[in-house]
Amino acid sequence: MNFDIDVRHDGETAIVYANEYLNKITGERIERECKRRLDAGCSTLMVSFRDTEIVNSIGISILLGVIDAAANSNAKVVFTDVNDDTGLLFESLGLTRHADIRKA
């Protein structure tokens, strides 16, 4: 399993690519990258779940931390390439009220 986090920049938008399993290790790396990008002045954080198969409860908790950090920076959060199962999870846990969700 690869724990490296790929990040791309497009203007004031940072695109962070989650791995196949969003858990404590990868979640903390995603959160750290997102906070770095917010500190650098990004106005939109996009987290791509194109390769993500599983998001555990700790991963959800960390995503809430990303949403909170973005709100404190007046930045927008978008979760992209979300599969149906993950989309249902995000919806049932209320993440869709705080971040835009774009299905795969």
Checking if the pLDDT of 93 tops 80, the result is yes
With CA atoms as reference, report the closest residue to 45 among 55, 61, 58, 30.
30
Distances (CA, A) of 36 to 33, 41, 66, 69: 5, 9, 11, 11
Structural domains in the chain plus CATH codes:
16-103 (3.30.750.24)
Q: Rounded to an integer, what distance in angstroms lies between the CA atom of residue 31 and that of residue 65?
A: 7
* Average pLDDT for 42-59: 96
- H/E segment holding residue 15: strand 13-17
* Average pLDDT for 11-22: 94
The answer for residues whose C-beta is within 8 angstroms of residue 22's C-beta and 6 or more apart is: 30, 49, 52, 54, 55, 56, 59, 62, 63
Checking if the pLDDT of 1 tops 80, the result is no
Confidence band of 3 (pLDDT split at 50, 70, 90): low
Query: Looking at residue 104, what is its pLDDT?
Result: 86
Query: Which value, in Å, is the radius of gyration of the alpha carbons in the chain?
Result: 12
Checking if the pLDDT of 43 tops 90, the result is yes
Name the H helices within the chain: 24-39, 57-72, 84-92
